[in-house]
Structure 1
Amino acid sequence: MSMFPVEMESERLRYERLHPDDFDPFELYEHAREGAPAIDEITEYVTWDAYEQPKEAFDWVSTCGEAFDDGENATYAVRPKDGDRAGELAGLAGLHPNWEQRLGILGVWFRKPFWGRGYSGERAGRMLELAFDRLDLEVVAVTHDADNENSRRAIEGYVDRFGGRREGVIRNDVIIGGEPRDSVRYSISCEEWEENR
């Protein structure tokens, strides 16, 4: 039995583990490669670069699969359940537990056609449920690049909804494009989640 669910659903989205047994890395490569539509906008505020060759996508899917099997991280391919883009890869979502700190870290990226649909908040609610109800974590945290206004709005929306808080700016927290960048961190406790779910 796996620590993490292999598949999950929320109101409009389906989550499938990113694992070589279940997922075709060429699908990821198609949307995350250099020259893919809007890839420069997608990667502007994330810590990874567009793939130069398919092997990078294969390696990432393999790494995620091993981490999933070992109970270290859960990374999911996210797909809409209905509508004109049903079944299409919208992006990736992850929950990365730090078991000693009883802390989960959220991560996500969506392809541009899926921006502005409220999927980030819906995904966050499902990941919080996983973190608190199944994994018994005490706090879930999320960060965004200090200059990323779209992520700020999305994160503040669901953090407020679930009773969490903005913790502050972490200076030189991540490297993006070879340069250190500040990030803004938010957190939601299990108690805040229970009161506001």
Structure 2
Amino acid sequence: MSVGLFPDGVVTDRLRLERVDIDDAGTLDLYEHWRADAPNVDETTEYVSWEPYATPHGVAETRERAVERTDDREGAMFLIRPRDGERGAGEFAGTAGLFVGWDCQLAVFGTWLRKPFWGRGYSGERADAMFELAFDRLDLELVRVSHLPENENSERAITKYVQRHGGRRTGRFRNRVAFDDGSVHDTVEYSVSQHEWRQADGAETAVSFQG
């Protein structure tokens, strides 16, 4: 049933998103970029709730939890890879997450990108795909996305694609998220309803599902 909900892959004009699966041989590939001494890891994890990993075992556990969420119909994590014709085609560029709250008919987006892939508009293209998944395939009513107040890069990217899809900033929420290091942070949040999304028709890329 979960496979029917969450596709094996999603293809956009420039990206291929591959759903994380327990049989993937990707733990060491992920660890190469998520380990504590990986290039640019301090910058790429500055505003995320998790800390760089000390061992591959930690990455394997994260992948297992992602698969469990999919099996439990609670969400999915996808690996982002540029398609042929893009610089770095086929490389692991980052992750895209969609987490579902069925009781509230809500999807929450999350993403992480390696620094060499910043500034290409991939966050917005990934968002186009996740909106299609949340609203067209899962028929949810609302998408929520957030960033830390000091994360100006995410603020620019999120504001652009949320407005393009008819949504709006909903406000700043105090002590909204706890990080693995024990710190607690405010978030700035945005929302897009399915009705707003359909009215806006703001997708800039074609999206197709595989599986």
- TM-score, scaled to structure 2: 0.91
Superposed, which structure 2 residues align to 1:5-154 within 5 Å?
A: 5-82=7-84, 83-154=86-157
User: Taking structure 1 as reference, are residues 30 and 79 closer, same or farther at Cα in structure 2, changes over 3 Å only?
Assistant: same
> Hey, what's the Cα distance between the residues in 2 that align with 1:61 and 1:71?
15
1:183 matched to which residue of 2? 187
Residues 160-196 of structure 1: per-residue CA shift (max 9 Å, x gap): 1001000000101112342211100000000111011
> Hey, what's the Cα distance between the residues in 2 that align with 1:85 and 1:74?
24
- TM-score, scaled to structure 1: 0.97
> Hey, what's the Cα distance between the residues in 2 that align with 1:59 and 1:108?
18
Residue type of the partner of 2:144?
Answer: A
Residue type of the partner of 1:163?
Answer: G
Residue type of the partner of 1:194?
Answer: R
Residues 136-182 of structure 1: per-residue CA shift (max 9 Å, x gap): 10000000001100000000000010010000001011123422111
User: Taking structure 1 as reference, are residues 155 and 144 closer, same or farther at Cα in structure 2, changes over 3 Å only?
Assistant: same
Shifted more, 172-181 versus 78-87: the winner is 172-181
Percent of residue pairs bearing the same amino acid type: 51
Residues 46-98 of structure 1: per-residue CA shift (max 9 Å, x gap): 00000000100111111111211221111000000022300101101011010
2:160 matched to which residue of 1? 157
Secondary structure, counterpart of 1:100 in structure 2: helix
2:209 matched to which residue of 1? none
> Hey, what's the Cα distance between the residues in 1 that align with 2:186 and 2:45?
16
Q: Which sections of structure 2, spanning at least 5 residues, go unmatched? A: 202-211
Shifted more, 60-69 versus 181-190: the winner is 60-69
Shifted more, 86-95 versus 63-72: the winner is 63-72
> Hey, what's the Cα distance between the residues in 1 that align with 2:65 and 2:54?
18
> Hey, what's the Cα distance between the residues in 1 that align with 2:183 and 2:70?
30
Number of residue pairs the alignment of both structures matches: 197
